[in-house]
Amino acid sequence: MLQSFAAGDAVLHSAEFMKNEVQHSLIHNIVDYPDALRLTTSDRRLLFVQSKGYSPWLWVSGELEPAQRIRLIEQLIENLEELPDSDFPGITAEPQTARIFAGAYCAARGKLYHTNMLLESYQCTEVRKPSSVQGTLVQAATVHIPVIAEFTAGFARDAFGTSQPVEHYLPHADAAVRTGNLYLWMVGGAPVAMAKTVHRSARICRINDVYTSREFRKHGYASRLVAELCEQVLAEGLIPVLFADGKNPDSNKVYQSIGFVQAGKIAEIKFE
């Protein structure tokens, strides 16, 4: 039933997948990894992809009837038993799909599961740039690595509750600068916010790691920064997309205010 597929497989450009593409945009990113697990069904109505060590992402066509979706997911789980390593830490998918998979998978393995995070996916086709926001957009450079590490530590604390010293994030900051895709919003010559474009596929470009230093929040800096990046992405002929924590109404309102519209929820479920 399951087949491996290559990163450039036509299934990633099928009409059925494209209806949910923004919601499942990380699948494009995952399949590009050389060691990625890439599985699909013969009818190309299910995708199951995983970067080694992380929770897999699952897409099932929304064109299927509920009973068909359930049966397809159950068949997926049965076939996964044949893999040499099918002990996954969790599952990420559209919420109902994620719950169906988690329930069947954990029942078969005597595990429990819980929803770790509920994300809202967004796309922007028309930017509403905030007015009267001071500052300028700059591409991050090596001189900015210390402050980027500081911002990354703050982002990890706010988004995931993790607490690591700033020095822990210096290699990450260095790597991010080298991609050329990390940008800063500067006010009075000092960085106050950051964001980056992380993956471009045939139609979309994802923006993430949006962060404003705490002492500079509520001034519209992140909104203007993201709006500027959206303009750049749209000029490339791509659609900017991003994810926001469903439990953070402030960030959701900010993205909606600059032109992002909801494109579907994603649940990250952990197994234990």
For residue 104, give Cα distances in angstroms to 39, 54, 251: 18, 19, 34
- pTM assigned to the model: 0.93
Could you tell me if 267 and 92 are in contact, meaning their C-beta atoms sit under 8 angstroms apart? yes
Average pLDDT over the chain, rounded to whole? 95
Number of H helices, E strands in the chain: 8, 12
Q: In the prediction, which pLDDT does 133 show?
A: 95
Q: In the prediction, which pLDDT does 224 show?
A: 97
Q: What ranges do the domains of the chain cover? A: 2-111, 124-264
In the chain, which stretches have pLDDT less than 50?
A: none
**Domain 124-264 sits in CATH 3.40.630.30:** yes
Q: In the prediction, which pLDDT does 84 show?
A: 83
Q: In the prediction, which pLDDT does 1 show?
A: 74
Q: In the prediction, which pLDDT does 27 show?
A: 97
Q: In the prediction, which pLDDT does 77 show?
A: 94
Give the model confidence (pLDDT) of 25-78 as tens digits. 999 999 999 999 999 999 999 999 999 999 999 999 999 999 999 999 999 999
- What is the rounded CA–CA span in Å between residue 75 and residue 110? 18
Q: What is the CA radius of gyration of the chain?
A: 20
Q: In the prediction, which pLDDT does 40 show?
A: 95
Q: In the prediction, which pLDDT does 86 show?
A: 87
In the numeric block, the tokens 């109404």 are attached to 249
